[in-house]
Amino acid sequence: MSTPPPPGQPPYQQPPYGGQPYGAYPPQHPVFGAPGPVVFGPPMPQPQPQPQWEPEEPEEPAGTRVLRSVLILAAVAGVITVVVGLVFMAADPEGYGLANGRTELELQAQPPASADTGMFQAAPTVPPPLPAIQPAPPMQPSTPIRLVIKRLSVNAPIKSVGLARDGTIQVPPADNANLVGWYRHGPTAGEAGPSVMLGHKDTRTRSAVFSRLDEIRNGDTIEVYRRDGTVAVFTVGGVEQADKKTFPTQRVYGPQANAQLHLITCGGSYNRSTGHYTDNIIVYATMTSSHRVSGTS
């Protein structure tokens, strides 16, 4: 996974990802042929049906037979009339007042389309989305040491990372799947401004710490444990899936008055030729409360 640098850094480039991600080689399932019929022995003789005795019906009068023939002919003529009428109506539905009704039925048969995909979508210069809860006042700087996301069952240590030689942000080592990287040249979690943290989606052999980051929802809480014994609690305001070619640098790294937390991982489809995913999943969260770790003063 690679992440574009903050403003003022060299242009974004793709560093090596570290190999094929987990799931890049789909498991090969054995191919089973169509099973043939199961035969347990020679076919058993089947019992032959026996003729049943039926009582003879009394002969009906000649007048009854004539009346029955007339009724049958009338019924056949009525069916032919209905069929012919339907053919004319189908050929000219508007002339029979059926055009609107047919259109309405077709529309009702289709499931309603939902435009709400759950993902935040805006121009790259639009500020980060905020939660409905009022932001809490920023705290003094303190190094983050652990990240907890209850919805995703994430409980991971945090390692500070800087810039690579090509100007992109360093990523946590690929051999430690449950490790989050904090960009140390930006604000700390709880401090005013965006604190940026990164994590792998997967490694060569398994899923990683942010494999389910796209499942987080608005209103979910994220806890960051800090070295000074405090816990900064952030509330998610939006989740974005952004093409790496149009990464929203200003929205992710730009200055903010509130204490914010921005989590980044890979997303989209995996490109085997480049060894990278096409998109980034970005979570925008704002600090809404804080407390001290129990047992500390």
Q: DSSP letter string over 17-77?
A: --SPPTTSSPPPPPPPPPP-----SSPPPPPPPPPPP-PPPPPPPHHHHHHHHHHHHHHHH
Identify whether residues 242 and 182 lie together within a single domain. yes
Shared-domain flag, residues 74 and 193: no
Please give the residue range of the domain that contains residue 192. 144-292
Domain match, 210 and 96 both: no
pLDDT greater at residue 1 or residue 258: 258
Residue 187 lies in a domain: yes
Q: Is residue 215 part of a domain?
A: yes
In a domain, 87, yes or no: yes
Distance, in Å, from the CA atom of 30 to the CA atom of 139, rounded to the nearest integer, reads: 58
For position 197, which CATH number holds? 2.40.260.10
Say if residue 153 is in the same domain as residue 284: yes
Residues 188 and 96 both lie in one domain: no
In a domain, 229, yes or no: yes
Per-residue pLDDT band at 289 (split at 50, 70, 90): very high
Do the domain assignments include residue 240?
yes
Does the pLDDT at position 168 exceed 80?
A: yes
User: Would you say residue 212 has pLDDT above 90?
Assistant: yes
Model confidence band, residue 125 (pLDDT cutoffs 50, 70, 90): very high
Same structural domain, 155 and 218 = yes
Residue 101 sits in the same domain as residue 156: no
- Per-residue pLDDT of 234-256, as tens digits, reads 999 999 999 999 999 999 999 99
pLDDT band at 102 (very low <50, low <70, confident <90, very high): very low
| In a domain? residue 246 | yes
**DSSP-assigned beta bridge partners for residue 282:** 240, 264
Residues 99 and 150 in one domain: no
CB atoms within 10 A of CB 183: 23
| Separation of alpha carbons 132 and 173, rounded Å | 36
- Residue range 22-49: average pLDDT? 38
Dist CA 280 CA 119 (whole Å): 12
Q: Are residues 195 and 263 in the same domain?
A: yes
Higher pLDDT, 279 or 107: 279
- Is residue 39's pLDDT more than 50? no
**For residue 217, is it within any domain?**
yes
Domain count, the chain: 2
Helix, strand or coil, per DSSP, at residue 1: coil
Statement: residue 97 has pLDDT above 90: no
Q: Which residues of 187-211 are buried (b: 16+ CB within 10 A; e: fewer)?
A: bbbbbbbbbbbbbbbbbeeeebbbb
Q: What is the mean pLDDT of residues 35-54?
A: 43
Answer yes or no: do 78 and 197 share one domain: no
Same domain, 178 and 285: yes
For residue 98, the model assigns a pLDDT of 34
287 vs 175, more confident: 287
pLDDT at 146: 99
Residue 179 falls within a domain, yes or no? yes
**Model's pTM, two decimal places?**
0.63
Q: Which of 105, 134, 169 is the last residue of a domain?
A: 105
Task: Answer with the residue of higher pLDDT: 97 or 222.
Answer: 222
